[in-house]
Amino acid sequence: MIKTMVLQKEKIPILLSWSGGKDAACTLHRLRQGDIYEVRYLLTTFNKDHRSAMHETPEHLIEAQSEATGIPLLKIFVPENDTNGYEKELSKVLLQMRQKGIETVAFGDIHLQDLRAYREQQLAQIGFKALFPIWDIDSYTYLIDFFRSGFRSVICCVNESMLPAGFCGQQLTPALIASFPATADPCGENGEYHSFCFEGPVFRHPIPYKATGFFEKFFPSPVARRTQVRFHHLDLDRC
C-alpha cells in the first residue's frame, strides 16, 4: 500500500490594523476562518492621551481585547492629525516586523476606495502588501453575519454632522441600525460612527467595560474650509 503524504501549507504571517471596533473584529474573524493567513500581531495607533485614533478607546481596553484574542499588541503613539508622524512611526514598526518575516498588513476597510489606495501606496513604498479581507461586502449582508456570529459592539463615537449624538453609547443592534437616517451608511463607512467591540467569536471571553460619561472633540471638516466637525465620544473604562 502506498501512503500519500499530505503537506500542510504554512500560513502567511500578517499584521492586523486594530481599532477595537466591529470592522477590525470582523476582519480577524474572517482571517481565522481561512487557512491562508495567520495574524501574528494587532497594531493600534494611540494619541497622546493613550486613546485609540478616532475611536478614543482607552489603551487598557485595547490591551484587554488583545489579551482576549490571544494575539500580541503593537502600539504606535502619534499626535492627532499628524499624518507625517503616523507614516514615520508605522514605517519603523513595519521594518521591525520584516525581520520576523511579516510583509503584509490587513485592514478592515469596506468601501472607501481613496483610503484603500492610500494604504496600498503607503505600504508599497517600503515593500509591504495591504490586505482587505472584507472589502466591498454589502453593508447589510455584512451586519447580518456580524450579529449572527455573536458579535456585540457599542457605539463609542458619533460624527454629529452625519448622525445624531444620541446614538453614542447605544449598543449596535439591527433595530438601532434600522433607525439610522437614510443618508447614513449602516456600517459607518463614511465616518458616521465608530464602535467598541466587547464580545464575539474572536474573543476568549467578553471584555468588561463601563461608560463613565461623554466628551466632545473637534476636527477640521474634510469638505468645508475653516470649519470644524464635532465628534461625540463615549468615555469608556474598566468595569
**CATH numbers and ranges of domains, the chain:** 12-238 (3.40.50.620)
Express each pLDDT in 154-167 by its tens digit. Answer: 999 999 999 999 99
pLDDT score at 33: 95
Contact 44, 10 (CB under 8 A): no
Helix (H) or strand (E) holding 121: helix 113-124
Whose cell is 466637525? That residue is: 229
Express each pLDDT in 14-54 by its tens digit. Answer: 999 999 999 999 999 999 999 999 999 999 999 999 999 98
Contact 66, 197 (CB under 8 A): no
pLDDT score at 219: 79
Residue 1: pLDDT band (50, 70, 90) is: very low
What's the first-to-final CA gap in the chain, in angstroms? 61
